Structure 1
Amino acid sequence: MSALSASPERAVKGAMSAATRPTSIAALAILFSIVFVNLAGFGLVVPLLPFFGTSLGAPEWQVTLMFSAYSLGQFFAEPLWGRLSDRIGRKPVLMATVAANALGYVALAFAPDIWIAILIRLATGFGAGNISTIQGYVADVTPPEQRAGRMGLLGAAFGLGFIVGPAMGGLLTRPELGHAGYMIPLFVAAGLSGLAAVGVLIFLKESRAKADPTTPRPRFLGGLQDAVANPVVSRVLLMTLIYMAAFSGMESAFGLWAESRYGWGAREVGLSFMVVGVVSVFGQGFLAGRLARRFGEARVIAAAALLFGGSLVAQVLTTAGWMVPVVMSLGALGMSMFMPNTSALISRSTPPDRQGAMLGLNMASGSSARILGPMAAGALFSGLGPNWPFLVGALLTLPAAVMAVNAGRAFRKRQAELAAAPAS
């Protein structure tokens, strides 16, 4: 029998009772604080990347390659770090990856040309692919029925980072200084990541016991066969791939679109992403778990995908700059519902000792979309016009919603089978 075919709901009870587990609320409070600090640095940099790229004299397609390169690194890193955290513990993996963030920002500040910047983003993405490890930590200390809510709170910490980060980036950027005007935000981002690394080292307790060293090491992407065989996880991986292609295309092209459409610079783009962060905090902190408990994770995911797709169409139809943050807030509400419920659905369908690996595969699926999405968005932007990355992204949310519904049906069927089976 596959490891993923066992009942994760039953297995988690034994795992959660281990004496090595930190107190749930205290551990989560520390983790969320660290995530907030780290994501504030990340949110500070993302809105200014298009302008940083153009300050190096790069055309649009090379600018979007910086986003794709980072995601390519994450594609290989997320399953690796997720599996490694299952084996050696979450804390050392988080320590290494957060420190890699800090080094990456410093190196990027001194990049002499766009190709070196792309290579730095590739290396930084590989070093910083830790989202599955963070999600695995949350799953370690959270009962299954509370995971959508706790993943939502984790997303709220991400969202808070995207409130503070873009605002700081907009205020710290000095475009009148040319390329040097974009170095200050990168240094601040490095400092925030360094602070987060110190927080991991001093305050965060380990949530997992180390695996038996005699246990054979899993192969890279070795869990993919089990994931494909799992009717829930396989559908979620495909759904994440489709949805994240739409999202990453919007994210990478937005600054270029706003500059072309309304003459915006890094400050206006940063403030728009700040609005996205505010709405995301509300959605993930207060709505994601409540809606999941009432309607189920899969139905919420489907509705979230459609809401995000509708916001992309509405963004193209805007006629004034002030309307853009309003429309983006609707899309942010959809985004805030999507990711925490996706993670919760995977964790509820996966045994405790495989959650880091399966969540890592899901992040790898999203990272592969983040490779292709920005590249496709850059080609669409340059070849067909500024609106096309958003229109194509809206179309992609339709099959993502269908896959979410199918994953929900598979999950409910599996739960019914487990309920009918005698306890072993």
Structure 2
Amino acid sequence: SFSRPALALLPMALALGLVSALALLPPVAPFPMPASSASRPLLRSRLGARTATQLTAAAGSAPSPTPPPPPASVGRLRRLSTASKVSVASVLLSTFLNLLGFTLTLPVNVALREHFELQMGASFGSLSSAYPLGTFGALFLWPRLSDRVGRRPVMALSLGGIGVGLALQSWAIYSRAPLSVFLACRFLTGCCAGAGPVGKALLADIGCATGQLPRFMAWRDAATTLAFIAGPSIGGALYTASGSLATVIGVAAAGSLAASLIIGFLASEPDSAPPPSAAAAASSADGVGKAREGKAAPADGIVACPLGTRLVAAVATVCAVSALYNCGSATYAAFFGPLAQDLLGLGIGGIGRAYTALACLSFAVSAGGSARVQGTIGTVATCALGLAAVGASLLLMGAATLAAAPRSSLVFWAGAALYQLGTPLYAPTVPTMLLQCVPRHRRGAVMGLDEAINTVARVGAPLLFGQLYHTLGAAAAFGAAGSAVLFAAVIAVLRRMVVLRSSYA
């Protein structure tokens, strides 16, 4: 049965209802738009099936059977201004520093288990569930707030709050506070989360205007992978040298506070641009035509909404796929370290070095081939390929724990390596598909919605699969998580087939 600390997390979700209700409020567009096209984002969100020809008619132009060719400038990479370059660099650096705080603590999860004398199961899973439970309401609040008041101040405030929350966690460990206090500190830290989707929205504001959004998403994924390379090794070395969990978490707090200062002083937001003209709408239709072929536009390698022109169906599909993936990734994050310790006898330092070595594989894919694969086979195919690799990796890691498994250590490392190869293929596809098919003043809200749905998976997966781990063993837990990820790949492929079938009907 679920332990008392795990159950204690559930009432906290009730307090998030009021904050989550903010998602029901209609967004107010802070960007000036001409009267003739002010309603176009609203039309696009409500009538996603409208063609570019119909949009042209709504703007006052006569529709034509064949859309006119796009202008020469549409679809080409445009040069970034100095301010935009600094903003992109600051977002990437702050993403690295903030995630570095998370990855620093990955190898010391085993030490947390020993510190609080926890058994494998829901109690240990609660350590991974407390933070995402706090983020559930925050992911409705912070991204929508950024749509109203701007990305930079919201992102800086969010990162600063995370730093303060990590400092409180460090204090709880240092003062030997009970598990409930530590979980409350993690929950409060999660309430400040929101920098991730806001940062993606800021990159989209810059990238969509210059045709470089896929490149920026790949760079962001590379920055997160660098954090996974450096963080576990640094965290393991810090713990080995100091023997103090509080020190490791305190350094993580300093990283988030530094990220907040970087965004506050260096980042800037691009000038607001008017909605696309009739010619740009026609070019959008041209992009959809290329999406039907499964290929991307030559400009940036990716086409918006390859899961269909109906916005609601496309966003719902992406969110469902993303949630199922996070069921698997949360299970991997929560139980990789303990499983490596129990199966292979690795200590905290060894676990940190294992995380670093595996992250190097992921970085090689992120920096060297992720965007190219998307440009070659299409966004949805890349998404499905990455999900298939992640799902198969979790199945392999679970199979390695079976008594009849030959060379269990080799099977375990093969599964872990396959996970690191699949994740960078999948990760950039979701924000790219979401951000390119929504208006600028709704990007924060859509990314917040996706992250909130993912949070449900991150909260529930460690508790559910932790209980499965405790009762039926690691093979059952990792097998169920891998099956969920493979099901996500099936959903993506089926949705793509439906879109292609309707396109050529």
Q: Same fold (TM over 0.5)?
A: yes
Q: 1:100 aligns with which of 147, 157, 161?
A: 161
Q: Would you say the 8 A contact 1:38–1:98 is kept in 2?
A: yes
Question: Shift in Å at residue 46 of structure 1?
Answer: 2.8
Q: Which residue of 1 aligns with 2:123?
A: 62
Tell me if 1:135 matches 2:200: yes
Question: Shift in Å at residue 147 of structure 1?
Answer: 2.5
Q: Would you say the 8 A contact 1:62–1:114 is kept in 2?
A: no
Question: Shift in Å at residue 129 of structure 1?
Answer: 2.8
Q: Which residue of 2 aligns with 1:354?
A: 442
Question: Shift in Å at residue 303 of structure 1?
Answer: 0.7
1:240-265: per-residue Cα shift (whole Å, max 9, x none)? 11111111112111122122212223
Q: Amino acid of the residue matched to residue 99 of structure 2?
A: L
Give me the whole-angstrom Cα distance separating, in 2, the residues matched to 1:209 and 1:59: 53
Q: Which residue of 2 aligns with 1:113?
A: 178
Would the alpha carbon gap of residues 402 and 367 (structure 1) be closer, same or farther in structure 2, given more than 3 Å must change?
A: same
Give me the whole-angstrom Cα distance separating, in 1, the residues matched to 2:371 and 2:457: 26
| TM-score, length of structure 1 as denominator length | 0.84
Kindly indicate which of the two structures has a greater share of residues assigned to helix.
1
1:175-217: per-residue Cα shift (whole Å, max 9, x none)? 994xxx211111111111121111112211124669xxxxxxx
Q: Which residue of 1 aligns with 2:246?
A: 183
Tell me if 1:3 matches 2:45: yes
Q: Which runs of 5+ in 1 are unaligned?
A: 15-19, 211-226, 418-424
Q: 2:463 aligns with which of 360, 369, 375?
A: 375
1:37-71: per-residue Cα shift (whole Å, max 9, x none)? 22212210133224213312233322211211111
Q: Which runs of 5+ in 2 are unaligned?
A: 1-42, 57-72, 75-79, 274-308, 401-406
Q: Would you say the 8 A contact 1:64–1:375 is kept in 2?
A: yes
Q: Which has the higher contact order (CA 8 A, sep 6+)?
A: 1
Q: Which residue of 2 aligns with 1:330?
A: 418
Q: Which residue of 2 aligns with 1:422?
A: none
1:348-385: per-residue Cα shift (whole Å, max 9, x none)? 22122211111111111111100111111210111111
Give me the whole-angstrom Cα distance separating, in 2, the residues matched to 1:200 and 1:411: 40
Give me the whole-angstrom Cα distance separating, in 2, the residues matched to 1:136 and 1:77: 16
Would the alpha carbon gap of residues 207 and 322 (structure 1) be closer, same or farther in structure 2, given more than 3 Å must change?
A: farther
Q: For residue 369 of structure 2, give the secondary structure of its aligned residue in structure 1.
A: helix
Question: Shift in Å at residue 340 of structure 1?
Answer: 0.9
Q: Which residue of 2 aligns with 1:26?
A: 86
Q: Would you say the 8 A contact 2:133–2:187 is kept in 1?
A: yes
Q: 2:218 aligns with which of 142, 152, 165?
A: 152
Q: Would you say the 8 A contact 1:146–1:289 is kept in 2?
A: no
Q: 1:298 aligns with which of 360, 370, 380?
A: 380
Give me the whole-angstrom Cα distance separating, in 2, the residues matched to 1:340 and 1:267: 30
Q: 2:132 aligns with which of 63, 71, 74?
A: 71
Structure 1 window deviating more from structure 2 (367-376 vs 29-38): it is 29-38
Q: For residue 59 of structure 1, give the secondary structure of its aligned residue in structure 2.
A: coil
Which has more radius of gyration? 2
Q: 1:52 aligns with which of 112, 125, 132?
A: 112
Q: Which residue of 1 aligns with 2:36?
A: none
Q: 1:166 aligns with which of 228, 232, 252?
A: 232
Q: Which residue of 1 aligns with 2:366?
A: 284
Trace 1:214-363 onto structure 2 (pairs within 5 A): 230-318=312-400, 319=407, 321=409, 324-363=412-451
Question: Shift in Å at residue 85 of structure 1?
Answer: 0.9
Would the alpha carbon gap of residues 236 and 164 (structure 1) be closer, same or farther in structure 2, given more than 3 Å must change?
A: same
Percent of aligned positions that are identical:
24
Q: 1:385 aligns with which of 442, 454, 473?
A: 473
Q: For residue 106 of structure 2, give the secondary structure of its aligned residue in structure 1.
A: helix
| TM-score, length of structure 2 as denominator length | 0.71
Structure 1 window deviating more from structure 2 (129-138 vs 400-409): it is 400-409
Q: Amino acid of the residue matched to residue 158 of structure 1?
A: T
Question: Shift in Å at residue 407 of structure 1?
Answer: 4.2
Give me the whole-angstrom Cα distance separating, in 2, the residues matched to 1:155 and 1:141: 17
1:364-420: per-residue Cα shift (whole Å, max 9, x none)? 111110011111121011111123221111111221001222444567689x79xxx
Q: For residue 173 of structure 1, give the secondary structure of its aligned residue in structure 2.
A: helix
Give me the whole-angstrom Cα distance separating, in 1, the residues matched to 2:324 and 2:353: 27
Q: Which residue of 2 aligns with 1:220?
A: none
Q: For residue 268 of structure 2, give the secondary structure of its aligned residue in structure 1.
A: coil
Give me the whole-angstrom Cα distance separating, in 2, the residues matched to 1:2 and 1:81: 24
Give me the whole-angstrom Cα distance separating, in 2, the residues matched to 1:209 and 1:279: 39
Q: Which residue of 2 aligns with 1:84?
A: 145
Q: Would you say the 8 A contact 1:27–1:205 is kept in 2?
A: yes
Give me the whole-angstrom Cα distance separating, in 2, the residues matched to 1:411 and 1:355: 23
Q: Which residue of 1 aligns with 2:5?
A: none
Question: Shift in Å at residue 285 of structure 1?
Answer: 2.4
Question: Shift in Å at residue 330 of structure 1?
Answer: 1.6
